[in-house]
Amino acid sequence: MTTSTTAAPVLLNGVLVDDGFAEAFPMKGTRLLITAHNLAWARHAAVAATGFATSVIACGCEAAIERELAPEEAPDGRAGVSVLIFSMSGKELAKQVERRVGQCVLTCPTTAVYAGIDEGEAIALGKNLRFFGDGWQVSKVIDGRRYWRVPVMDGEFVAQETTAVVKGVGGGNLLLVARDVDAALAAAETAVAAMRAVPNVIMPFPGGVVRSGSKVGSKYKTLPASTNDAFCPSLAGLSPRSDLAPGQDCVMEIVIDGLTEADVAAAMRAGLHAATARGVDSGLLRITAGNYGGKLGPFHFHLHKLLEAAA
Do 153 and 75 reside in the same domain of the chain?
yes
Span 87-100, pLDDT tens digits: 999 999 999 999 99
CA distance 59 to 66: 19
CA distance 310 to 307: 5
Do 35 and 152 reside in the same domain of the chain?
yes
Instruction: Give 295's pLDDT tier (boundaries 50, 70, 90).
Output: confident
What is the Rg, in whole angstroms, of the alpha carbon atoms belonging to the chain?
21
Average pLDDT on 54-72 reads 97
pLDDT at 7: 64
Span 104-117, pLDDT tens digits: 999 999 999 999 99
Do 177 and 107 reside in the same domain of the chain?
no
* CATH number of the CATH domain containing 90: 3.30.70.520
53 has a pLDDT exceeding 60 = yes
Do 212 and 131 reside in the same domain of the chain?
no
Average pLDDT on 155-161 reads 98
pLDDT at 216: 87
> How are beta strands 225-227 and 112-115 bridged, if at all?
unpaired
Instruction: Give 311's pLDDT tier (boundaries 50, 70, 90).
Output: low
Which residue, of 131, 166, 201, is where some domain finishes? 166
pLDDT at 310: 64
189 versus 225: the higher-pLDDT residue is 189
Instruction: Give 5's pLDDT tier (boundaries 50, 70, 90).
Output: very low
Average pLDDT on 230-258 reads 96
From 7, 13, 25, select the one nearest 304 (Cα to Cα): 7
Q: What average pLDDT does the structure give for the chain?
A: 95
Percent of the chain with pLDDT over 70: 96
Residue 1 lies in a domain: no
Residue 35 lies in a domain: yes
65 has a pLDDT exceeding 90 = yes
Q: How many residues does the chain have?
A: 311
> Could you tell me how far CA 107 lies from the centroid of its own chain?
24
Contact (Cβ atoms closer than 8 angstroms) between residue 62 and residue 87: yes
Domain with 155 in it: 28-166
Average pLDDT on 200-227 reads 95
Task: List residues bridging with 256 in a β-sheet.
Answer: 172
Q: Counting Cβ atoms within 10 Å, is residue 145 exposed (0-12), middle (13-18) or buried (19+)?
A: middle
Contact (Cβ atoms closer than 8 angstroms) between residue 274 and residue 203: no
pLDDT at 188: 98
